[in-house]
Structure 1
Amino acid sequence: MLTGILFALAACLVWGSTYVAPLILSDYSPVLITLVRYTVFGAVCVAFVASQLRRALRTSARDRLLAVALGIVGNLIYFWLITEAVVRVGGAVAGAFTSMIPVVCTITANLTARRPLPWKPLALPLVMILGGLVVFNAEEFARLEGHAFFASGADFALGVAAALGSVAIWTWFPLSNSRWLREHPGFPGSLWLAMQGAALLPVSLAGLAFLPEASGLLGRINATFIFWIFVMAIGCSWVGNALWNAASRRMPAVLIGQMLVFETLAAVLYASLWQGETVTLTAAVGLAAELLGIALTVRLCSAQEPPSEAPKEGPNDGAAKKVGETPCQTSSGCV
């Protein structure tokens, strides 16, 4: 489980840059940034899938359809919504709204589990994480309270709606992705990621073809644009998602949802650094509460594990579960 936590932490630290890039590339529209990013990412994924096409085709039509949905909704639409939120309400504010994802994801994971963890011991970690998120983002929430857009700003309202839409998507995405990976232990996580990304290429290219702004893009490209597009396409989309897939196979879904706390923390910290702000004592207290809540959940999941060694990954997808497995070991018990 410790290895999974480290993978998830690394993924979230990489993903945090997603909230800063649109601020740096403010001369370009959110839609253009999204489409160019996923055109690059999609091209890399198509090449990877082509190199392992036979293995990819061994999956069922239902699996391939899920990969397409995860790729388009969990990446393209999610990033577009995040980018819209960042541009319209700011990176730190967008991060504050999406900070509810870890708690919503954890509750959803336990509600949909066949063998859920008991709510009573899980309640304290959830309260600590939620309270920590509120305290960590206290200044951002205060900024929202006095924001004039609350009264008359349609642009601000659209930004908030985009942030809330991203919450819904990233409650569904990690749970569905984690379930599939744990039910197919013999399938390479990198190929599963590439199958998702490959679906993005035709959609992104079609979007660029119909986007008026894209017609003059070549004359506007500079080194900064190219650098951040590759940071997002290769760093965030490929490396970040590969790390997340590795974590998803090593952790229960109830805990994997809470790991998203670190994406929120990274987003707010990166945005604050970009804006020349420092981390306040209030934010530090909130961070401590969140980390303690996650530690309590790790302890709860560890207590559910039997002392015997966890079953090894086998070549057969959907292998039978062994006697003695707990909700924190099987996808059906944690998703």
Structure 2
Amino acid sequence: MNAVWARANKSKSALGVVCGTGAGALWGLVFLAPELVRDFTPLQLAIGRYLAYGLIAAVLIAPRWRTLVPTIMRKDWIALIWLSLAGNTLYYVLLSTAVQTGGIAMTSLIIGFLPVAVTVIGSRDKGAVSLTNLAPSLVLCTAGAVCIGWQRLAAPVSGQADGQLLGLACAIGALASWTAYAVGNARCLSRLDHVTAHDWNLLTGVITGAQAVLLIPLTLAFEPIRHAAASWAHLAIVSVGVAVAASIFGNAFWNRMSRLLPLTMVGQMILFETLFALLYGFLWERRLPSPMEVAAFGLVVASVMSCIAAHRKQPDAAAVAPA
């Protein structure tokens, strides 16, 4: 009986890792969007992406809306509002602003600590793998994050000191925002057995789309329309593409993974976004990775494998949903 349970649990973990990899591969595409539409501001990019996400989600969930809504309690709607803000709207604006004002190196280095933050929080859950057992994975994760940003961090960055401080503040804010989303979303999914991961993603999309609509007057007031019709059409195409790939399918993979893996392991899966973002960046720039970037790849992969090994040594923890 124990052998059967162990095989089922191992299969569950393997499927969770596959879903986490898929989410990272699709989310990595988000980093190409600013390069494809460089003439638009971070707020405009966020509005375009999440407006498309909201419209698509509304169309997909419409057939089940009347039967699904009565099962969503008031506290669930409140959770959807703050999760949409923390994990989508606020995070994307903060991240884009941090890159523009503080540089890619500093931003990627700080955001690279997302797995550490989520894993440390997840270690407090009942039955979770202890931080002592996760220490090798956390050390490798931290070393990988340092390698990712080190060579550009050492290079001089243009801009005034005030801009650097703003970029640092936005990067830390983005780190806190997405950490809160990852933890909160996993815990909501663990208690909402009557809502599928796909429907939860679509509900998140509807709420995020509504937030994007509310931001339109803000961008019109502070960012006057100065683009040609062709540029807006280009933005629309990129926004729809990112919405479908990253927000619809990527989030669906992530939500499925969040129900299959404990929170301590969920944190490590975020590393795949960084890996694929780097890979797409190399392809976009048509170059090979530097030795430091190769080292980062190896450390990140080793971190994930170490985390998986720690959970296999303590199978009970892998079966416990986040508290």
The answer to whether the aligner puts 1:125 opposite 2:125 as a matched pair is no
Please tell me the residue identity of whatever aligns with 1:39: L
Identity of aligned residues (%): 23
Q: 2:236 aligns with which of 226, 241, 254?
A: 226
Please tell me the residue identity of whatever aligns with 1:77: L
Distance 1:160 1:20 in 2: 22
The 1:220/1:211 distance shift into structure 2, 3 A limit, reads farther
Q: 1:283 aligns with which of 288, 293, 297?
A: 293
Residue of structure 2 in register with 1:94 after alignment: 107
**CA deviations over 1:42-89 (Å, ceiling 9, x no partner):** 112223333212223212111121112111221111111122223334
- 1:34-73 to 2 correspondence within 5 Å? 34-53=46-65, 54-73=67-86
Residue of structure 1 in register with 2:7 after alignment: none
Distance 1:209 1:62 in 2: 28
- Where 2:229 maps in the other structure, the secondary structure is coil
- Where 1:20 maps in the other structure, the secondary structure is helix
Residue of structure 2 in register with 1:13 after alignment: 25
The 1:148/1:203 distance shift into structure 2, 3 A limit, reads closer
Please tell me the residue identity of whatever aligns with 1:185: D
Q: Is contact 2:127–2:317 with CA below 8 Å preserved after alignment?
A: yes
Q: Is contact 2:128–2:262 with CA below 8 Å preserved after alignment?
A: no
- 1:247-262 to 2 correspondence within 5 Å? 247-262=257-272
Distance 2:183 2:292 in 1: 31
Q: Is contact 1:56–1:191 with CA below 8 Å preserved after alignment?
A: no
Residue of structure 1 in register with 2:188 after alignment: 180
Shift of 1:102: 0.9
Q: Is contact 1:178–1:245 with CA below 8 Å preserved after alignment?
A: yes
The answer to whether the aligner puts 1:327 opposite 2:317 as a matched pair is yes
Q: Is contact 1:16–1:264 with CA below 8 Å preserved after alignment?
A: yes
The 1:105/1:121 distance shift into structure 2, 3 A limit, reads same
Please tell me the residue identity of whatever aligns with 1:153: A
**CA deviations over 1:114-160 (Å, ceiling 9, x no partner):** 333222221111112211221233212222xx3354xx332233222
Please tell me the residue identity of whatever aligns with 1:20: L
Q: 2:96 aligns with which of 80, 83, 87?
A: 83
TM value normalised by structure 1: 0.84
Consecutive unaligned residues in structure 1, runs of 5 or more: 306-325
Distance 1:167 1:69 in 2: 15
- Where 1:249 maps in the other structure, the secondary structure is helix
The answer to whether the aligner puts 1:153 opposite 2:166 as a matched pair is no
Shift of 1:296: 1.6
Distance 1:215 1:57 in 2: 41
- Where 2:237 maps in the other structure, the secondary structure is helix
The answer to whether the aligner puts 1:114 opposite 2:104 as a matched pair is no
Residue of structure 2 in register with 1:309 after alignment: none
Which has more helix, going by share of residues? 2
Residue of structure 2 in register with 1:33 after alignment: 45
Tell me which moved more, 134-143 or 1-10. 134-143
Tell me the C-alpha RMSD between the 2 structures: 2.2
Distance 1:293 1:59 in 2: 37
Shift of 1:289: 2.0
Shift of 1:22: 1.1
- Where 2:261 maps in the other structure, the secondary structure is coil
Distance 1:209 1:228 in 2: 22
Please tell me the residue identity of whatever aligns with 2:179: T
Q: Is contact 2:84–2:204 with CA below 8 Å preserved after alignment?
A: yes
Residue of structure 2 in register with 1:138 after alignment: 150
- Where 2:300 maps in the other structure, the secondary structure is helix
TM value normalised by structure 2: 0.87
Q: 1:170 aligns with which of 167, 178, 195?
A: 178
Shift of 1:276: 4.3
The answer to whether the aligner puts 1:105 opposite 2:118 as a matched pair is yes
Consecutive unaligned residues in structure 2, runs of 5 or more: 1-12
The 1:92/1:220 distance shift into structure 2, 3 A limit, reads farther
Shift of 1:93: 4.7
